[in-house]
Structure 1
Amino acid sequence: MPQVSRIPKPPPAGCLWIDEAATYIGVAKNTLYKWRQTGHGPKGFPVARRIAYRIEALDAWLAECEHGPAEPNPEMRPPEVRQTSRARNHRRTPAAA
């Protein structure tokens, strides 16, 4: 059986693979995966079994994050994280006097 070469395929012209795109915009690769699942962040597209991002889309998303949109676009914002107060979750009942 012939050996299969494990040379990575280059992304489509003008695109970056998800790990390269994450480095390009300065976030973790898992953050991009999470944003894809929740419908936030820059838009990527599947190529075979990998995710590619157009460099123009990444630049546009970065510019919108830097300058803010002319009108709010909820699809481009990162998801909000609900924060809970630790004090509220761990109340102690007052001791009986």
Structure 2
Amino acid sequence: MISKIPPPGLLYIEDTPAGPGIASRLGITPGTYRKWRMAGKGPESFRLAKMVVARIEAVDAYVAEQERKALQPSADSRSPEPRVRRKFPVAA
């Protein structure tokens, strides 16, 4: 846990005494968020005084977008195939 408190409206990657950080809000570890950030994934963030920060609104918008994508049926999704009951020969 970081002992510094982020500026109002911003979050650090790790948890602080002020509350959960970016990673906790996303349900991932800080290391995973750092990897995502280097790969260009996750909510928009930036450096502020040697610390990586993100706006609370950006994190919440990212979570809402992921939820929308998860609930929206994709173009290549199809209905599940019916189960076929197979009869196996009984060994005598």
TM-score (norm 2): 0.62
Q: What is the CA distance between 1:45 and its match in structure 2?
A: 0.9
Matched with 2:43 is: 42
Query: How far is 1:8 from its partner?
Result: 3.2
Q: Looking at secondary structure, tell me which structure has more helix per residue.
A: 1
Instruction: Give the letter aligned to residue 43 of structure 1.
Output: E
TM score, norm. by length of structure 1: 0.59
Deviation (angstroms), 1:42:
0.7
- What secondary structure does 2:47 align onto? strand
CA RMSD of aligned residues (A): 2.1
What are the superposed Cα offsets for residues 20-54 of structure 1, whole Å, 9 maximum, x if unpaired? 11011211101110111111111111111111111
Identity over aligned pairs, percent: 42
What is the identity, as a one-letter code, of the residue corresponding to 2:50? R
Q: Tell me the distance in 2 between the aligned counterparts of 1:10 and 1:46.
A: 15
List runs of 5+ in structure 2 lacking aligned partners.
Answer: 15-20, 73-92
Deviating runs (4+, > 2 A) in structure 1? none
Unpaired segments ≥5 residues, structure 1: 1-6, 71-97
> How do 1:75-86 residues align onto structure 2 when only pairs under 5 Å count?
none
User: Which protein has greater RCO, CA pairs closer than 8 Å, 6+ apart?
Assistant: 1
Separation of aligned partners in 1, 2:10 and 2:26:
13
Q: State the secondary structure of the residue aligned to 2:63.
A: helix
Q: Report SS of the residue matched to 1:23.
A: helix
Structure 2 Cα separation of the partners of residues 60 and 16 of structure 1: 14
Aligned to 1:76: none
Quote how far apart the aligned CAs of 1:18 are: 0.6
User: What is the aligned residue count?
Assistant: 64
